[in-house]
């Protein structure tokens, strides 16, 4: 394992950092510069992680200058200010640790290729983007911290959420999903917390989704669409794990792992005052991004054949001209659009080789891609 020192003057973060890095490194903690200097001399660490306590760029620049004076140039240093910036650091440390303990080329008994997902979850691909996504999911699966999954529509955010659950020790417990965009704020509390008989007209006694998710995973899709009225209700239960059914005076508790998803960047949501800062920091301890299909086109043959086999195993294969046509498309609808295109082609062809003439895109779909590019600028 890598020898790692974590330096931070914000002691509230230390327990979380130790838990996250202990599986990949032999970690020690320093709370002041003198202690850090002594630990570096004695332990000869390979990695130093520094938690910055201010968002002020000038202050952080001065702190980094101090670090240069006491830290050997051979020591690898990572800086972070908040949990959102930890993702790349954890991935880098875990990859370095995995390289040290990876089996030799002749040892093939160690399990699945990390570049290929568990096929039972239908995360298909061998691109670097998918390999990175899968490594992040496996790294975070057994952690209790909340995870936000961001990505364009159709990129497989719910599949990633299910993988976080299925690859964890919670897999035998419930995985419950709720689309926040589909629930009006007037029904949010009853759906989340449940009701007692008489809470309102025709109300019956029933549990809510939070109660049902006890010891399992609660997945809130399109969290960015959660009403400002409902956001404090969610924050309250995340703070202490307690809630009350509508119409009840009795507090209940539920221990669940929260995973959320959004098609918009969480920082953008907060900066536009569409989402509470305090809630964002509670639900986005870590952020995972599902890549758009246009950035992993090398996965198109695997995905297309997988969808063909879903339609009818062994009846279809993809012709090279069809692949060329799909490679040239920008896929604004991502994997969901590819699925629709392949299902349409299979319906037209019935069996045999799918050719370019069988591949049809929605009229005007490219305009959607152009509009998305303009909006991202």
Q: What domains does the chain contain, in order, with CATH numbers?
A: 2-82 (3.40.50.2300), 119-289 (3.40.50.300), 293-376 (1.10.8.60)
Whether residue 314 has pLDDT greater than 90: no
pLDDT at 319: 92
Could you tell me which residue, 186 or 334, shows the higher pLDDT?
334
| Alpha-carbon span 91 to 205, nearest angstrom | 45
pLDDT at 110: 33
Residue 120 near residue 167, CB atoms below 8 Å: no
Residue 210 near residue 192, CB atoms below 8 Å: yes
The whole-chain average pLDDT of the chain stands at 82
For residues 256-262, give the mean pLDDT.
Answer: 95
Whether residue 45 has pLDDT greater than 50: yes
Q: 235: Cβ–Cβ under 8 A, 6 or more apart, which residues? A: 276, 278, 279, 282
Residue 68 near residue 37, CB atoms below 8 Å: no
Minimum mean pLDDT range among 76-80, 128-132, 330-334 = 76-80
| Alpha-carbon span 226 to 163, nearest angstrom | 24
For residues 8-34, give the mean pLDDT.
Answer: 75
pLDDT at 146: 92
Q: Which H, E and C letters describe the chain, residue by residue?
A: CEEEEEEECCHHHHHHHHHHHCCCEEEEEECCHHHHHHHHHHHCCCEEEEECCCCCHHHHHHHHHHHHHHCCCCCEEEEECCHHHHHHHHHHHHHHHHHHHCCCCCCCCCCCCCCCCCHHHCCCCCCHHHHHHHHHHHHHCCCCCCEEEECCCCCCHHHHHHHHHHCCCCCCCCEEEEEHHHCCHHHHHHHHHEECCCCCCCCCCEECHHHHCCCCEEEEECHHHCCCCCHHHHHHHHHHCEEECECCCCEEECCCEEEEEECCCHHHHHHCCCCCHHHHHHHCCEEEECCCHHHCHHHHHHHHHHHHHHHCCCCEEECHHHHHHHHCCCCCCHHHHHHHHHHHHHHHHCCEEECHHHCCCCCCHHHHHHHHHHHHC
Whether residue 52 has pLDDT greater than 70: yes
Whether residue 117 has pLDDT greater than 60: no
For residues 146-168, give the mean pLDDT.
Answer: 93
Which residues pair with residue 218 across a beta bridge?
176, 258
Exposure of 125 in the CB half-sphere (CA atoms within 13 A):
23
Residue 167 near residue 137, CB atoms below 8 Å: yes
């Amino acid at each position: 394992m890598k020898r790692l020192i974590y330096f931070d003057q914000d002691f509230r973060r230390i327990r979380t950092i130790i838990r996250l890095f202990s599986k990949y490194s032999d970690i020690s903690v320093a709370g002041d510069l003198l202690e850090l200097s002594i630990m570096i001399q004695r332990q000869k660490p390979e990695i130093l992680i520094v938690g910055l306590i201010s968002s002020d760029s000038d202050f952080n620049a001065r702190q980094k200058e101090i670090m240069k004076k006491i830290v050997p140039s051979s020591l690898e240093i990572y800086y972070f200010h908040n949990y959102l910036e930890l993702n790349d650091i954890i991935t880098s440390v875990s990859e370095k640790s995995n390289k040290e303990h990876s089996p030799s080329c002749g040892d093939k008994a160690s399990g699945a290729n990390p570049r290929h997902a568990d096929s039972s979850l239908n995360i298909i691909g061998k691109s670097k983007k998918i390999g990175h996504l899968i490594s992040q999911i496996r790294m975070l699966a057994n952690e209790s911290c909340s995870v936000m999954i961001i990505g364009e529509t159709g990129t497989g955010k719910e599949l990633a959420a299910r993988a976080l659950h299925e690859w964890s020790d919670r897999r035998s417990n419930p995985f419950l999903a709720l689309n926040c965009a589909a629930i009006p704020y007037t029904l949010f509390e009853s759906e989340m917390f449940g009701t007692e008989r008489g809470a309102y007209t025709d109300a019956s006694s029933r549990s809510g989704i939070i109660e049902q998710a006890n010891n399992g995973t609660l997945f809130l899709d399109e969290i960015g669409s959660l009403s400002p009225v409902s956001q404090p209700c969610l924050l309250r239960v995340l703070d202490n794990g307690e809630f009350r059914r509508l119409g009840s005076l009795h507090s209940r508790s539920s221990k669940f792992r929260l995973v959320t998803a959004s098609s918009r960047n969480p920082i953008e949501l907060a900066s536009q005052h569409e989402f509470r800062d305090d809630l964002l920091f509670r639900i986005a301890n870590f952020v995972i991004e599902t890549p758009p299909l246009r950035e992993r086109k090398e996965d198109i043959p695997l995905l297309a054949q997988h969808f063909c086999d879903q339609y009818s195993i062994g009846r279809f294969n993809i012709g090279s001209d069809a692949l060329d046509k799909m490679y040239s498309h920008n896929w604004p609808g991502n994997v969901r659009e590819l699925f629709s295109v392949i299902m349409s082609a299979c319906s037209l062809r019935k069996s045999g080789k799918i050719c370019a003439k069988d591949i049809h895109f929605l009229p005007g779909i490219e305009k959607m891609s152009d509009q998305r590019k303009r909006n991202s600028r």
